[in-house]
Amino acid sequence: MNAGTSACAPSHGVNWHGIDWSLATKQVRRLQARIVKATQEGRWGKVNSLQHLLTHSYSGKALAVRRVTSNQGKNTPGVDGATWNSPADKTQAVLSLRRRGYQPLPLKRVYIPKKNGKKRPLGIPTMKDRAMQALYKLALEPVAETTADPNSYGFRPERSTADAAEACFTALATKRSAEWVFEGDIKGCFDNIGHDWLIANIPMDKAILRKWLKAGFMDKGTLFPTEAGTPQGGIISPTLANMALDGLEVLLREDVQRNRWSGKKVNMVRYADDFIITGNSKELLEKEVKPLVEQFLSERGLTLSPEKTKITHIRDGFNFLGWNMRKYEKEGKQGKYLQKPAKDNVGAFRSKVAGIIKGNKTAKQENLIALLNPVIRGWGNYHQHAVANETYSSMDHALWELLWQWATRRHPNKGSQWIKDKYFQSRGSRSWVFTCKDENGKEWMLLKLSDTKIVRHVKIKGEVNPFDPKWDTYREDRLAKHMALSLKGRNKLLRHWKEQNGNCAICSEKITRETGWHLHHIIRTTDGGPDIHRNRVLLHPNCHNQVHSRKLKVVTTGFRKES
């Protein structure tokens, strides 16, 4: 399925919905692949030249604007109060992304709550500054992925917490695995990375990087300078932070592990600024590993958090990324390594669903189900690679208790049997299913966590680079498996995804969990189109907007203008 051939070259005659996104993506990917090759060959002058080409290309600018106008923060303005909502705004924004004369505005400082009750500062750049960061990230990320540590998983394309958890399993699960774990946490990582180190070591336009780092922030009408750190709300900040921390894993292997026969069993797994390092003894971690980590971080202006950094034996377990990882003793000996949902993560989930239920005391049953199901599905899918069956059953019961309270509160003068018959029905072998039909006859049914199938996750290979064409087949196979798992139970969506080979029917680019999707009716239901398989097709959200804006009609071989 191919899109049309609308121009992608800079022209005042090109409007936002006239951009050929497939062509733009191919042009950027071609440059990114060349950047990877030059980086692998150590030709840094060539890397710089290719980055210049990408950041000055119309395709790169268009993709950067599309990113910042289609993500969750698209309606959140910076200090200038501007957002880009209309196609005309977006078209003009593409033309405005120029290096010459560019000066970023200060960030808007807001505070968001943390788990411990404290507040984390967040800096929100203006739309233009976000787009400039997205543009330069397109040129920097291929370098970052080529030079990254193999067991770094946070804020990297096609990597996840599940990959990090499986890396922990590989390092700790066997009888001969390391028994001691160094739990590292960097104190205010984003806020304290040294500017001098970043400017000297990040392979990108130094002038642009310096302007971002020194832009300052506005808090309650007052301008504050920034002497260290990267803006936590900046699109490029996670990439900068990852590059600052890359190299520690290799350093540990060279200076501590040295070779596989040393017996020290030093392995590192990092997700953003949280990491663990394994070792065969507490003494090794205290006297060799910790000083090396501290020295590495100090060169970058960073320090370990004393209250969160500790050394733990595997039989006592440790929490990492929402899971508790531990080897349970059996008859005085270490038994099986298990990864279970952590207690604080379970508690946070219960509090969230309780808040939704209590906040919707008068809502229709179908509306409450519509609010709860995405939360239940998301939490269940997050833990589906862990030992979670017992936890799922426990949470299903907790949900039932909360919903029974919700139902009985609505009908204080009715008996239990009447309430059960109204809100809880029998489905198959189950007699307490929270379900109903709306006014159109559509059935709404609350998901059960215990229906989530536990599936072993296959970790991504450490050397995979999403910008290197040699990994394309591996990545496509992996994406197909992940999407089949993500859409399990949603057969309508999965069937469309498979029939379209995972591609959008308009731009021919991959549809993933990250891009999102829209199930589009070829003939609108309001025009008499049936809600059946052959009248539906999967599109990217932005491509769906393009179809309606340009009055295009999707067909099996692409699209055409409606007569």
Structure tokens belonging to residue 116: 């411990």
Lowest mean pLDDT among 56-60, 378-382, 386-390, 524-528: 524-528
Are residues 176 and 40 located together in one domain of the fold?
Answer: no
Distance between start and end Cα atoms, the chain:
21
The pLDDT tens digits of the residues spanning 168-179 come to 999 999 999 999
Shortest CA distance to 164 belongs to which of 152, 178, 172? 152
Are residues 116 and 240 located together in one domain of the fold?
Answer: no
Last residue of a domain, one of 147, 177, 208: 147
Q: 521 in a domain, yes or no?
A: yes
Do you know the residue count of the chain?
A: 563
Pairing of strands 217-219, 107-113: parallel
Q: 40 in a domain, yes or no?
A: yes
Cβ-count burial of 385 within 10 angstroms (0-12 exposed, 13-18 middle, 19+ buried)? buried
Q: 212 in a domain, yes or no?
A: no
Mean pLDDT (whole number) for 225-243:
89
Number of domains in the chain: 4
> Do 127 and 92 contact (CB within 8 A), yes or no?
no
Q: Bridge partners of 270?
A: 152, 275
Q: 217 in a domain, yes or no?
A: no
User: Taking every pair of C-alpha atoms in the chain, what is the biggest distance, in angstroms?
Assistant: 79
Are residues 304 and 402 located together in one domain of the fold?
Answer: no
Structural element, H or E, at residue 276: strand 274-279
Q: 207 in a domain, yes or no?
A: no
Q: What is the mean pLDDT of the chain?
A: 89
pLDDT at residue 4, as a whole number: 38
Are residues 186 and 302 located together in one domain of the fold?
Answer: yes
Domain hosting residue 306, numbered range: 148-193+228-332
Q: 209 in a domain, yes or no?
A: no
pLDDT at residue 514, as a whole number: 76
Are residues 240 and 307 located together in one domain of the fold?
Answer: yes
Last residue of a domain, one of 390, 425, 451: 451
Structural element, H or E, at residue 304: none
Mean pLDDT (whole number) for 265-286:
96
pLDDT at residue 7, as a whole number: 40
pTM of the model: 0.87
| CATH number where 237 lies | 3.30.70.270
Last residue of a domain, one of 396, 424, 451: 451
> Do 128 and 96 contact (CB within 8 A), yes or no?
yes
The pLDDT tens digits of the residues spanning 491-550 come to 778 888 888 888 888 887 888 877 888 888 877 766 677 777 778 888 888 788 777 766
pLDDT at residue 113, as a whole number: 79
The residue among 422 and 535 whose pLDDT is bigger is 422
In this structure, what DSSP letter does residue 458 have?
P
Q: Bridge partners of 222?
A: 219
Q: Bridge partners of 224?
A: 217
> Do 204 and 213 contact (CB within 8 A), yes or no?
no
Cite the DSSP H helix spans in 472-540: 472-486, 491-499
Are residues 406 and 282 located together in one domain of the fold?
Answer: no
| CATH number where 539 lies | 3.40.1800
Q: What percent of the chain has pLDDT over 90?
A: 68
> Do 254 and 247 contact (CB within 8 A), yes or no?
no
Are residues 134 and 177 located together in one domain of the fold?
Answer: no
Q: What percent of the chain has pLDDT over 70?
A: 93
Are residues 135 and 153 located together in one domain of the fold?
Answer: no
- Between CA 412 and CA 415 the distance in angstroms is 8
Are residues 484 and 447 located together in one domain of the fold?
Answer: no
Are residues 15 and 104 located together in one domain of the fold?
Answer: yes
Are residues 18 and 95 located together in one domain of the fold?
Answer: yes
The residue among 359 and 562 whose pLDDT is bigger is 359
Q: 462 in a domain, yes or no?
A: no
> Is residue 444 predicted with pLDDT exceeding 80?
yes
Are residues 102 and 243 located together in one domain of the fold?
Answer: no
- Between CA 531 and CA 489 the distance in angstroms is 19
